[in-house]
Amino acid sequence: MKPSPDMKQDVAEILLTEEEIRAKVAELGARITADYTGGELTLVSVLKGSLPFMADLMRQIDVPLRIDLMEVSSYGGAATESSGLVRILKDLSAPIDGRDVLLVEDIIDTGLTLNYLLRYLRGKNPRSIKICALLNKPARRLVEIPIDYIGFEVPDRFVVGYGLDYGEVYRNLRFVGVLRPEAYEEPSQP
Ligand code: PRP
């Protein structure tokens, strides 16, 4: 399905406005600053969906920090999905041993990606590792994940915007919305 030239036409409902997201990111940044004051932090974000959240969150954190970026893809397919196997397309570019790491995610859905990443990153001997997720979709969780900082809980609906895509499109919407079914369902055959 081709996106409408005006992407907003493909959105049925706005769940989180630009202002609500901005206020929440500032609140999360203040909490993280308070928790890490006096220390240093390494933010690790997972491309591509976390990009806007990472960019906004890092500027709301007022302690010295480094950033690193990973990119992963899940293997897909029912059998491999439940195994939680994740392929690393881009690894960390610097060691994290002895560092306080905060993993920054746009959304936690089944939890399989983070479950894998947590194990992988713990194997690199950070001093601590915590998780910050803008969106949490608990209805779809398959594996429990300890989330230290959560922005919003979202219902089990197809959400796009502020980094989240459908078919790689809609990431640049400044709000989080629910896609109209017509935007992702194939038209029925005559
Ligand atoms: C999304 C999101 C998480 C993952 C969460 O990424 O950024 O990494 O899915 O899902 P899970 O909890 O079910 O594992 P996606 O694979 O859509 O890639 P993208 O960030 O490039 O859009």
For 115-150, write each residue's pLDDT tens digit.
Answer: 999 999 999 999 999 999 999 999 999 999 999 999
165 CB near ligand 1 (under 6 Å): yes
In the sheet where 159-160 sits, what is the strand order? 11-16, 176-179, 159-160
Ligand 1 center to 38 CA (angstroms): 32
Coil/strand/helix, residue 30: helix
The letter for the amino acid at 23 is A
Lookup: tokens for 79: 């059998």
The Cα–Cα gap between 169 and 34 comes to 36
Tell me how many degrees the CA angle 142-143-146 measures, rounded to the nearest 5: 135
Nearest to residue 45, comparing CAs of 102, 86, 99, 113? 102
pTM of the model: 0.92
31 CB near ligand 1 (under 6 Å): no
Residue nearest to atom 14 of ligand 1 (CA): 113
Q: Which of 74-83, 94-103, 108-117 has the lowest mean pLDDT?
A: 74-83
**Computed from CA positions of residues 49, 67, 103, 40, in that sequence, does the dihedral angle turn out positive or negative?**
negative
Portion of the chain with pLDDT greater than 70, in percent = 92
CA 107 to chain centre: 4
Ligand 1 center to 65 CA (angstroms): 24
Coil/strand/helix, residue 160: strand
Position in ligand 1 atom list of the atom nearest CA 113? 14
pLDDT one-digit tens code per residue, 60-71: 999 999 999 999
The Cα–Cα gap between 51 and 134 comes to 11
151 CB near ligand 1 (under 6 Å): no
The letter for the amino acid at 79 is A
H helices of 68-180, in order, are 78-83, 112-122
pLDDT for residue 190 is more than 50: yes
The Cα–Cα gap between 49 and 54 comes to 9
Q: Which of 103, 107, 144 to mutate to test the pocket of ligand 1 (most atoms within 8 A of CB)?
A: 107
